[in-house]
Amino acid sequence: MSASAIFFLDQKGKVLISRNYRGDVPMSCVDKFCELLATEDIGARSPIMNRDGVTYVYISHNNLYLLAITKRNANAMLILCFLYRVVEVFEDYFNQLEEESIRDNFVLIYELLDEMMDFGFPQSTEAKILKDYICVLEKHTIEIRPPPTLTNAVSWRAEGIKHKKNEVFLDVVEKLNLLVASNGTVLHSEIIGALKMKSYLSGMPELKLGLNDKLVLEQRRRRLGQRGKMVEMDDIRFHQCVRLARFENDRTISFIPPDGEFELMSYRLDTKVRPLIWIEAHVEPHSHSRIEYMVKAKSEFKRRSTANNVEISIPVPPDSDSPSFKTSVGTVRYVPEQNVILWTIKQFQGLREYLMRAHFGLPSISRENELNEKPPIRVQFEIPYFTVSGIQVRYLKIIEKSGYQALPWVRYITQNGDYQLRMSP
């Protein structure tokens, strides 16, 4: 990878801040980038564009463009990854990366850009390590300390770390994106997963993590004739601490972890998934300008699992009034500013079914068109000790030369993502 320059642009293409690392590309190239954006259709835009021998690699974030320019035969995907790391580091420093935070922190941004990249090559991209020697003491006051960690082979972890109690917490968190038609057909479903770690380990430990990944389990089945549930993951993205060569060889996730919290890995599964919580809503208009909703909620997961803090959002006409509710479980309230009924169930056990009825008055008599064009029902939930994909941690080994005993803790959580069910007309 070799980037000549980095630019931060606003939505109109105006340069907010820039850093020229190599000087082999004129800074006026950014004008050509703005012309390319203007001529490209929004739906057909590519994050990598090449014109007149110059490659433009960019991402968009909070109405900003982060742009890298190079004339060399560089690895465009590595440049993209670096831009995303820049976003993560800046958000760690400023909470939000937006136009205002750039204007308020331009001195700090220049310091960070100089440490994160040298002559177009990435250096340190770990926020925890950068904070060891680029510190914000108070607003507009920066302290820069010697960076001993950058000379280490492991740039994301300082040496000499000590903890009274050595522990590792691993959360396997999956979010389910789902769109279901009114007839029950699943139109879209995908699982977005992440392995999130909290590492409180002394010294320089090496961790080895094994999952029930499809490739390695297929090899194991052929060799030993064993059985087990397999998961095929797509779009896998690792933290920089993971040894990628080792993963490619035997699918073992081997790494020296950063100290504290970090995301070890993310993945996506584009697979057909049945709704975990199925909602049916029947709307029946009555005389005297009243309308009745009968809503049935059914959990489709196993009986031993429980969904916590389930919140079902059912849309209603914008001029509804005089609400009354009756439910077999949970609480119901009307939220007029959102034009929805919120049905909240604190604990929803597997293979259970509940009913809720709601009555509203409608001041306007002719509401047929609006009743036929209903927004979808949305559901929020969290199911502990459960994953939709069936992913499992087969082992988590901790090796450190001092030989101390460490406690690994593994937890599984499934949450809603963009979870929508369309209502019957």
399 pLDDT above the threshold of 80: yes
Which of the following CATH numbers is that of domain 277-384: 3.40.50.300, 2.60.40.1170, 1.20.1600.10, 3.40.50.970? 2.60.40.1170
| CATH value of 5-151 in 3.40.50.720, 3.30.465.10, 3.30.450.60, 3.90.1150.10 | 3.30.450.60
**Mind giving me the DSSP string for 325-378?**
EEESSSEEEEETTTTEEEEEEEEEETT-EEEEEEEEE-SSS--HHHHHSPPPEE
The tens digit of pLDDT for each residue in 24-58 reads 888 888 888 888 888 877 667 789 988 888 899 99
Fold category of 167-273+388-421 in CATH: Immunoglobulin-like (2.60.40)
What is the spatial distance between Cα 331 and Cα 378, in angstroms, rounded to a whole number?
A: 16
Q: Locate CATH 2.60.40.1170 in the chain.
A: 167-273+388-421, 277-384
Give residue-wise pLDDT tens across range 414-424.
999 999 999 87
pLDDT, average across residues 87-93: 92
Task: State which H helix or E strand residue 190 sits in.
Answer: strand 186-200
Q: pLDDT category, 119, cuts 50, 70, 90?
A: confident
Mean of pLDDT over the chain: 85
User: Tell me: the pLDDT tens digits for 181-194?
Assistant: 988 899 999 999 99
**Is residue 143 over pLDDT 80?**
no
Instruction: Please state, in angstroms and rounded to a whole number, the distance separating the CA atoms of residues 316 and 375.
Output: 9
pLDDT for 283 equals 86
pLDDT above 90 covers a percentage of the chain that reads 48
Position 118 pLDDT exceeds 60 = yes
Listed in order, the ranges of the chain carrying CATH 3.30.450.60 are 5-151
